[in-house]
Structure 1
């Protein structure tokens, strides 16, 4: 062979090896079938760390802006002259705005994506939250609270929907539990911060509660800018994954989406999950739970104030320092915020623990039923505990909060077994709307029940909410209610009772 022919052949071989090298590299990074599970597990762990912290902190800011209202409540009610009923209405009206805009907001997020829409929502509610510092009368406060709820409406449903772009149904329970633990951790972190800001009473001629709204609202606006930069739009653009991992995860999620769409196509109706009695049954259980959770956030500082002043079981009175030294009042309100944070430490642990256990054992029903029963019974005994002393009553309030909040992860991830594809955005928003309706009604109900008497009746109502929700999530045959038909309603009731009491009855 001539020298020039040998050189040409060597060049062709080198070019062929160079062309094949990327394919070889990709093959080296692809998981071997025998190690598929380990590869997937490690990748999902990386997704958790790359995705959840941003949404967790967003949840923190959401609940900072909600909890601020309860921490400011003692001083705010005094300065604006709000009754318990008016305070309950101002607290609950947030969820009216939330319910009104939840589905439209999630339709937008399904079109433009979380990377665009979540920063917009975050900045908007930060501005509105800060504007609460300027209110001088009840009507203006109620209007701002409505618009605050409207701005926040797409936040959690949007994050739930965004999570489905990266995770399968079985991986969502833990993710939701982590995101939603921000609700209770925000109280732990936010309470000392609120206490410090309330002590700014008189600085620049403003009340402490005004500084609370201004500073935390401004921080929320800044976080909206951070979120626009840091949040990954989809697996294919996830900066925290390697190129091979992005391709693999995007392929997996595309297949998962195709499977969900195929399941949905079998029903022949794009909106079939929303017309399902199963979805309504689960949503009403969530409504009852959401009602109690909202009351815990909104009323705990005032319940604690009443317990410490000895008026929990009797005629409500303004605390003595309210009409005396403003600095003394500010210090008293700061102490209430700090003591309230004690309630949320075990609550956060319970949320993470139950969410992890639910995912580990792939079970939701009993993980919801047991905590809700414990919480319901504890609520019923709070009035009796308060007659024995503020400490015993507060301990029962802690047990009530722990049991109620613990079911957040399993309950929020449950609809994903019924909702698929783009309809999941609307379905999750619908689910959240019913929870918001509970949040709208319950604070006002508590305010009316306690406006001229004691808090006892409100504790019984919240206990009843939890027990009713527990019974709803327990009955497994509820998920077959559509298939059994009304003519077999007796058999369905028998099956439910058999599950509850473990015995056969004749109907």
Structure 2
């Protein structure tokens, strides 16, 4: 094993499990509303539109605080700021159990969005500190697998917690929020003592390993300094930042269209709460596998554009099948394809911003891409709830989300391949 393979394996196995767990917990706490809704909506008297609004309004606070949060992270260090984010969101996620109606639920969701703002772009920015450009798609693939895994793990667990109804005087849906908030608080303290801000501070690397990694990352920075923009305002007006922001609107619409409504779609076929949780996990398990495989393939091919477009087209087909199907088998096949396409597109997509942004500009640019995209995090759930309430079906909502995936594929055609080509990465195991 040469020095490069040795260093990248050590970095991967040291940092990636912790980052995956952090984002896994985050996504469970963000999306457990979908399973809690199986009992919560009735108890709080929420209409489908109310539920969609509650799911989406999280992103109001998230969007407002996203860019400032990521700038604070770049100034104060990832270790401190990520720990702060996890602590405050864990406490507020637990407080969701004490919502007494639509208005209090809306308020808590906004506060949760404020607390969690900056985590995702902050972790993307942090990964770019540690992984050279030729390793980033696979690194993002491993990291982003937390999204589908949060449903694979969280949906059955949340569904089982619903059966605690009446324990300690709390409803089952209240226990979902209380129990699933605890890991975030614990990991806030763990991250503070475990994470390392930069490779230069990595005492867990040997001196030759540390020097190699710093030098290799410096070459990436030199390329960005020659071809990219580093200042905050320059990042905000960078045309590629805006292009990727628009693409991300569609990606997030696809993701949250699945996350917040798939349990409710499945439950319409008459399954129990536990069966609903288990069946809901299947498309996301397929999405997790596709994300890892496709991210590694993108790195090996040294290509991003085509690896972004092709899975988006698969997602379009999947949403169309799900919208037009009346049987649970065909609907789940369609949603499985939609999940595979949506999640497989994320590793090549998030490999793009660090290729033309650096330093504080990268922190601001990545946050901006995620912030603008997060507008769909509000719009997509609200749209799905509104369509369901007024048509009695999710079909039209699924078609609209599928159309957004198609628009993302069309926008991705405008990415210039010659500017974004990367060299073939060395494999971990030769």
The CA deviation at 1:259 is 4.9
Residue 108 of structure 1 pairs with residue 72 of structure 2: yes
Residue 373 of structure 1 pairs with residue 313 of structure 2: yes
- Aligned partner of 1:279 among 226, 232, 241: 241
Unaligned runs of 5+ in 2: 420-430
Residue of structure 2 equivalent to 1:154: 118
The CA deviation at 1:225 is 1.0
- Aligned partner of 1:189 among 138, 153, 158: 153
Mark the CA change 1:268 to 1:119 in structure 2 (over 3 Å): closer, same or farther: closer
The CA deviation at 1:195 is 2.2
- What's the TM-score once normalised by structure 2's chain length? 0.92
Residue of structure 1 equivalent to 2:104: 140
Post-superposition CA distance 1:385-434 (Å, at most 9, x none): 21xx2222122111111111111111111112221222100000001101
Mapped partners of 1:269, 1:182: distance in 2: 31
The CA deviation at 1:435 is 1.6
The CA deviation at 1:251 is 4.2
Residue of structure 2 equivalent to 1:40: 4
- Aligned partner of 1:445 among 360, 363, 383: 383
Residue 73 of structure 1 pairs with residue 11 of structure 2: no
Mark the CA change 1:40 to 1:63 in structure 2 (over 3 Å): closer, same or farther: same
Asked if the contact 1:174–1:359 (Cα under 8 Å) also holds between the matched residues in 2, the reply is yes
Aligned residues: 418
Runs of 4+ in 1 over 6 A off after TM superposition: none
Residue 59 of structure 1 pairs with residue 34 of structure 2: no
- Aligned partner of 1:364 among 288, 304, 314: 304
Q: Secondary structure at the match of 1:82?
A: coil
Post-superposition CA distance 1:350-406 (Å, at most 9, x none): 0001111111101111112111112112212223221xx222212211111111111
Residue of structure 1 equivalent to 2:210: 246
Greater radius of gyration (CA)? 1
Mapped partners of 2:174, 2:234: distance in 1: 47
Output the aligned Cα RMSD.
Answer: 2.0
The CA deviation at 1:67 is 2.0
- Aligned partner of 1:214 among 178, 182, 188: 178
Mark the CA change 1:137 to 1:252 in structure 2 (over 3 Å): closer, same or farther: same
- Aligned partner of 2:395 among 456, 459, 462: 456
Post-superposition CA distance 1:314-338 (Å, at most 9, x none): xxxxxxxxxxxxxxxxx93232112
Mapped partners of 1:259, 1:467: distance in 2: 32
Residue of structure 2 equivalent to 1:496: none
Residue of structure 2 equivalent to 1:395: 333
Post-superposition CA distance 1:218-242 (Å, at most 9, x none): 2210111111111112112224312
Task: Between the two structures, name the one with larger relative contact order (CA 8 Å, sep ≥ 6).
Answer: 2
Mapped partners of 2:52, 2:388: distance in 1: 10
Mark the CA change 1:243 to 1:83 in structure 2 (over 3 Å): closer, same or farther: same
Residue of structure 1 equivalent to 2:428: none
Mapped partners of 1:175, 1:81: distance in 2: 43
Q: Secondary structure at the match of 2:303?
A: coil
Residue 418 of structure 1 pairs with residue 356 of structure 2: yes
Residue of structure 1 equivalent to 2:256: 294
